Amino acid sequence: MNKKIIIKELGLKDYKETWEYQEELFQSILSIKSENRKLNQEVETPNYLLYVEHSHVYTLGKSGDMSNMLLSESQLAEKGAAFYKINRGGDITYHGPGQVVGYPILDLENFFTDIHKYLRFLEEAVILTLAEYGVVATRSQGETGVWIDVGTPFARKICAMGVRASRWVTMHGFALNVNSDLGYFDHIIPCGIRGKAVASLNNELGVKFVDEQDVKEKITKHLVDLFQMQLM
């Protein structure tokens, strides 16, 4: 089992280009697994974690409801935002500047074969990261992602998650609002959940800007610990 993880910093990158790149890595891992089975061999499969920032974009998961997008095509253009229907789980979400987006492309057979556990570990890495900033975050029953003030009228989501998995290979991932313009969430029903607000780390801390590189380093550290990975 290969527990090494290759971290790739993609910077500001178009959503569709990144999606295509994810697919390329995802399919390459599936191909290795297929060849291993066919030839009865044990070639190691790689694991990747892509960090990226996107320009304004809304994405709708395969089980999502189009009515949760509140803008027309022309209004999207006015906002300078793109829209894609994509092949992850979950409903609608927003990506944009100031957000730390992580796409783990892992062969879970290198770690454990349990999608539920995988999602909980992603959530836990974000919860532990936020705790380092003094922000108490948690899970919300039946709602994937990371939340603040769960069980109160002020419950708000700070990190959205949606993944795809095939033969234990994952893609897509998490989006943590760090310095996000939360106004863009007003144009959707985030994750299809009515009546719940969204949050960003800088607002929670009452500051203008949080160092996003520092946030990524903290998330990586916790993912490495939880999954017992080895950094390349």
The answer to whether 95 is a known ligand-binding residue is yes
The answer to whether 133 is a known ligand-binding residue is no
pLDDT at 98: 98
pLDDT digits (tens, 9 = 90+) for 206-220: 999 999 999 999 999
What structural domains and CATH numbers belong to the chain? 4-227 (3.30.930.10)
pTM above 0.75, yes or no: yes
The answer to whether 90 is a known ligand-binding residue is yes
CA distances from 84 to 39, 77, 93, 104, 179 (A): 38, 13, 10, 20, 23
Both structure tokens of 201: 């780390």
Residue 230 CB neighbour total at 10 angstroms: 11
pLDDT at 194: 65
pLDDT at 189: 82
**Gyration radius from the chain CA atoms:** 17
pLDDT digits (tens, 9 = 90+) for 85-104: 998 988 888 999 999 999 99
The answer to whether 121 is a known ligand-binding residue is no
Rounded Cα distance between 197 and 135, Å, is 16
pLDDT at 192: 62
The average pLDDT across 37-66 equals 94
The average pLDDT across 57-76 equals 90
pLDDT digits (tens, 9 = 90+) for 176-209: 999 999 999 989 886 666 667 999 999 999 999 9
pLDDT at 220: 98
- Cite the active site residues: 191
Rounded Cα distance between 66 and 4, Å, is 39
Rounded Cα distance between 178 and 209, Å, is 8
* Residue pointed to by tokens 């492309």: 105
Higher pLDDT, 136 or 89: 136
pLDDT grade for 26, boundaries at 50, 70 and 90 = very high
